[in-house]
Amino acid sequence: MSDNLDHPAIQANMQSIKLASEGNKEAWLDLYADDAIVQDPVGVSPFDATGEGHKGKAAIETFWDNVIGPSNLTLVAHKRIPSGERACAVHQTAINDMGNGNKTEVDMIAIYELNDEGKIARMSAFWSWAEMEEQLKKLGFM
């Protein structure tokens, strides 16, 4: 794990994980710039039909309401790598408890980019929807 825990983008990642785990939607949304873009995952998925990401606070709030909010999600950061003054890459694992002992688990690289005001301008999470779909099918959710 990086020793640069005071780096602003690493702080943003740590806050994002904490607030998502707590279910604190308003504080989580406040981490983002009004014109921010969230791509989670990057590319076309059932969460993002165009693959262009969720653009702006209203779209990011809808992403929360449809994906993060209803999930029983645990995010575990393995390594945080700062880049420049306002960006970082994070290797993390997302574990979603689906109930009755059923869980999905996906490794990802998340890139956080901050604007001049210290808000998240872009968050891009690179992970495989195909891998998630396979897990969901095995669990009988698809």
**Which CATH topology does 8-138 take?**
Nuclear Transport Factor 2; Chain: A, (3.10.450)
In tens digits, what is the pLDDT along the chain, a chain of 142 residues? Answer: 546 889 999 999 999 999 999 999 999 999 999 999 999 999 999 999 999 999 999 999 999 999 999 999 999 999 999 999 999 999 999 999 988 889 999 999 999 999 999 999 999 999 999 999 999 999 988 8
The pTM score is 0.93
Q: In what order do the strands lie in the sheet with 87-99?
A: 54-55, 32-39, 120-126, 102-114, 87-99, 73-83
- Please, which contacts does 18-23 make with residues 24 or more away whose CB atoms are closer than 8 Å? 20/68, 20/73, 20/75, 21/73, 21/74, 21/75, 23/69
Q: Are 94 and 105 in contact (CB under 8 A)?
A: yes
The domain locations on the chain are: 8-138
